[in-house]
A and B are shown apart, each in its own frame.
Chain A
Amino acid sequence: MFTVLAFAVGFVLALMLAIMRLSPLRPYRWFAAAWIEVFRGLPALVTIFTIGYAVPIALGFRVPGVYGPGAMALGIVYSAYMAETIRAGIEAVPRGQREAARSLGMTSARSLVSIVLPQAFRIIIPPLTNEVVALIKDTSLLYVLGTTASTIEITKFAREGVSRTFNITPLLAGALVYLAITIPLTRAVGLLERRNRRAR
């Protein structure tokens, strides 16, 4: 659940950042570059603490929802990584594609949406998969926010199990749960890639 929300937040932010990063307008480029440098440079835990504890204390504002703060924090962290991936994807689409689109009367935004981005996403599926897998694993960092019963996070659950029983079996079980999520995911993406390649 954290993963889905964090990915949604991160992806939307990343797309905006990538487009800003490639914008001809300097303020946009600077903002995006600064955002990416900061959140890629900070340890994820620091960002999680900041969003989860520091921001509510300092500003009296808490990201709403049970999953809200954690998803927001991880979303912000991953937006920095994914923005760079998406930017690379956009830049990998040959310039002629954009020129052809513009020569057909498409606006700059239209050619980005209809022509450049669909091709960019095909290019970046493999690196983006890496980032999703990393994101799934990093949800384990959210234990620091202390979770309620409904959001209990696998690693925390496992650790408590270990201290309760003096036995590492729960930790192993937790590890297996992560693998049970990530391996099918990478398989599914692999299939998607093969299908794409055939269509091209």
Chain B
Amino acid sequence: MPDDPTRPDIEVVDLRKRFGPLEVLNGVSLTVQPSEVVCVIGPSGSGKSTLLRCVNRLEEPTSGSIRIEGDDILDPECDIDRVRRKIGMVFQAFNLFPHLTVLGNCTIAQRKVLGRPRTLAERTAREMLERVGLADKVDEHPVRLSGGQQQRVAIARALCLHPDMMLFDEVTSALDPELVGEVLASMRQLADEGMTMLVVTHEMGFARRVADRVVFMDEGLIVEEGPPEQVLDAPREARTRRFLQQVGERDEA
């Protein structure tokens, strides 16, 4: 199938997700174009993480459609493991594999999923660790690293499969404040290199500086979306204003 230059990397239409009686997503539609950086903000419980987790089907949506580079990933015929190779994901809790070294974390999927020989896998891993500034930590075990270093390893681990797009799920929320910057810097570098990114975050500064588009979610719906200067500085919706005010107050306190 020839590549359609106008085809979005991620296309979510009328996505609904229910956990028992709890409606977490009430019909969310969102498109992310190649090389676009979209930040999703909103209060906790607004469904933003669930949205992200549906995009690579770590959560099964209740209804709606999700297309990744045009392929319907909710189709039962779809090979989700193949699709997931194209989507890198970074988690709030890092989720590095504690029984493996940094190098092992970065090579295991290359070797077991892509079937790459060890030498090539290690070369790729070193290259990606270099990109996040951790080339000297290859032989450490994850527990020996700081949170910020662990999270950068997690980014490198995802990059090793050469994904077309990356999902970031509140990746700085578990970090000590002084370690947030190094992780955001790695993400920003990725964005500058043209990676397609869908970022759930509480970092308003990052959203303002890096995002092409900011999406504000509340109660399982997209309330407002647009360029960062519009959504963050001149929000049209009262709910967006209230949220930004609360976040702003906390930052000043």
Contacts and interface: CB of A to CB of B under 8 A. Distances in A.
B81 A103 contact: no
B78 to A, nearest CB: 13
Contacts of A107: 81
A140 interface: no
A103 B112 contact: no
A200 interface: yes
B158 A200 contact: no
Contact of A103 (B84, B99, B108): B84
A105 to B, nearest CB: 4
A110 interface: yes
A127 interface: no
B141 A105 contact: no
Contacts of A110: 112-113
Interface size range on B against A = 20 to 34
Interface string A90-105: 0000101101111111
Contacts of A119: 97-99
In the complex, which of the residues A104, A106, A107 has the most CB atoms of chain B within 10 Å of its own CB atom?
A104
Contact of A99 (B91, B108, B154): B91
A26 interface: no
A104 B154 CA distance: 11
B161 interface: yes
A126 interface: no
A102 to B, nearest CB: 7
Interface in A100-143: 100-107, 110, 114-115, 118-119, 122
A199 interface: yes
B95 A97 contact: yes
Contacts of B149: none
A91 to B, nearest CB: 16
A71 to B, nearest CB: 31
B74 to A, nearest CB: 16
B90 to A, nearest CB: 9
B143 A200 contact: yes
Nearest to A198: B141
Contacts of A106: 81, 109, 112-113
B141 A114 contact: no
A-B pairs, top 8 by smallest CB distance, nearest first, are A100-B95, A104-B109, A105-B85, A96-B95, A103-B89, A105-B113, A105-B84, A118-B99
Given A100-B97, A105-B113, A200-B98, 14 more contacts: A96-B91, A97-B97, A100-B89, A100-B91, A101-B97, A102-B58, A102-B84, A103-B56, A103-B158, A104-B109, A105-B109, A114-B108, A119-B97, A199-B141
